[in-house]
Amino acid sequence: MQLYDLITRLSAATAPSGFEESVFARVQELLAPYVDEIASDALGNLLAVKRCGVPDAEQLMLEAHMDEIGLIITGFEAGFLRFAKIGGVDPRVLPAQRLRILTNPPIFGVIEALPPHIQETGEEDEAVSADKLFVDVGLSEQAAKAKIPLGTAAVFDEAPELLAGERLLGKALDNRACVAILIKAMEELAEKELAVNVSLLISTQEELGYRGAQTGAFALRPDRALVLDVTHAATPDSKKGETVKLAAGAAVGVGPNLSREISGKLLELARKKEIPVQTEVLPGSSGTDAWVIQVSRTGVPTGLISLPLRYMHTPSELVSLKDAECCVRLVTEFVLAAGREAQNA
């Protein structure tokens, strides 16, 4: 399947942290042809294995989280719904936003905006805090209570849209684009002879603090891990030092959270195979599942490939499809090279 199709299909899944069942099913279906086994665990992680047949081969774990940020319904007020955030959502993107409320079947809702006439002058410079915002589902309070139990999750209701320059706009590209990259890489590797057992951890609840990765990595017990997540690409309102460049290739993380050997190997492979990459320096936590995987059990050497992305955690995240292709190539080359380092040396 084309990478674009994989990304858009996965972006359409509605699965905030803790509610990943629907995206689990979709990933399972897309990944199944390329792995030997797929399993789940108590936190809802998807664990998969592709064996290479070599006795005592190393286990290399490829990892990406599948949850997205969202909202959760916490109360009712005159037919409108109160909500709390799941993960880091900027309240400034919420007014006049369409939502899909994850009942069965889903219900459409709109976060109503307070009209300007009821505000004091100058208040349009002040953001409306999330506790002053409400979801309109067009229902009486009685009907809303009957249809929408407390604790129902909701996600932004936005379809993917292709922009100029092979750039893709959509919700939940953090981190469905990286899940798609891993599925595409496994497709590329399907017929290849490997020297390592490849395991996949498609994790849950990353947006709430790497929760799925903690138990998933424990269960799989990998020898090494390669994490894929998104990172901030430059925008006019961001500072230079805190971002990478969009459409300048995959970002390879370097820093204490990551194995120097793996980071070095990734950069070396990129140079040899002429894959566009950029180095992303991470002085502390990478802010990804790599943070907990590195210290799983007795420690796991971990690498990180990041896909540059603008407008993270908004209803319209933006990635470059060319960057995503670079990530696929880099993952594929890394897996092909893994386990052969000794014989090549």
Partner 1 sequence: MLDTTKTLCLLSGVSGFEDEVRDYILERVLPYADELETDSLGNLIVHKKGKVPGDKRVAFFAHMDEVGVIITGADDDGFLRFDFIGGVDRRVAIGKRVCLGFARVPGVIGIKAHHLVSREEEKKIPSLSAMYIDVGAPDRKSALELVCLGDVGVFSDQVTEFGEGFLAAKALDDRIGCAALIKLIESELPLDCDFVFTAQEEVGARGAKVASARLNPDVAIIIESTTAADLPEVPEGKTVCRLGEGLVLPYMDKGAMYSRELYSALTALCDANNIKWQTKGLIAGGTDAQVIQRSGAGVATAAISAPVRSLHAPISVAKIEDFETIPRLAMLFLESLVNETPPSFHATPPSFRA
Residue ranges binding partner 1 (CB under 8 A)? 77-78, 80, 88-93, 95-98, 107-110, 112-118, 124-129, 132, 134, 136-140, 143, 158, 161-167, 169, 232, 234-239, 242-243, 247, 287, 310-316, 318
Are 212 and 206 within 8 A, CB to CB?
Answer: yes
Q: Minimum CB separation from partner 1 for residue 136, in Å?
A: 6
Rounded distance, CA 48 to CA 36, Å?
A: 7
Cis upstream peptide for 257 (omega within 30°): no
| Long-range contacts of residues 157-162, Cβ cutoff 8 Å, at least 24 apart | 157/98, 157/99, 157/100, 157/108, 158/98, 158/315, 158/316, 159/12, 160/7, 160/8, 160/11, 160/12, 162/4
Q: Which of 158, 206, 317, 325 is catalytic?
A: 206
Rounded distance, CA 25 to CA 34, Å?
A: 15
How many CA atoms, within 13 angstroms, populate the side-chain half-sphere of residue 178? 30
Q: Minimum CB separation from partner 1 for residue 138, in Å?
A: 2
Q: Minimum CB separation from partner 1 for residue 74, in Å?
A: 13
Between 53 and 122, CB nearer to partner 1: 122
Between 132 and 273, CB nearer to partner 1: 132
Between 2 and 119, CB nearer to partner 1: 119
Rounded distance, CA 232 to CA 312, Å?
A: 7
Pairing of the two strands 197-203 and 59-65: parallel
Q: Minimum CB separation from partner 1 for residue 156, in Å?
A: 9
Between 98 and 221, CB nearer to partner 1: 98
Between 98 and 273, CB nearer to partner 1: 98
| Residues near 269 by beta carbon (within 8 Å), at least 6 away in sequence | 275, 330, 333, 334, 337
Q: Minimum CB separation from partner 1 for residue 295, in Å?
A: 22
Q: Minimum CB separation from partner 1 for residue 121, in Å?
A: 13
Are 304 and 253 within 8 A, CB to CB?
Answer: yes
Between 303 and 315, CB nearer to partner 1: 315
How far is residue 11 CA from its own chain's centroid? 10
Is the four-CA dihedral 117, 120, 126, 127 of positive or negative sign? Answer: negative
* Token output for 243: 């971002």
Between 287 and 301, CB nearer to partner 1: 287
Q: Residue for token digits 């905006």?
A: 113
Q: Minimum CB separation from partner 1 for residue 312, in Å?
A: 4
Rounded distance, CA 231 to CA 243, Å?
A: 8
Rounded distance, CA 256 to CA 313, Å?
A: 26
**206 counts as catalytic:** yes
User: Which residues are the active-site residues?
Assistant: 206
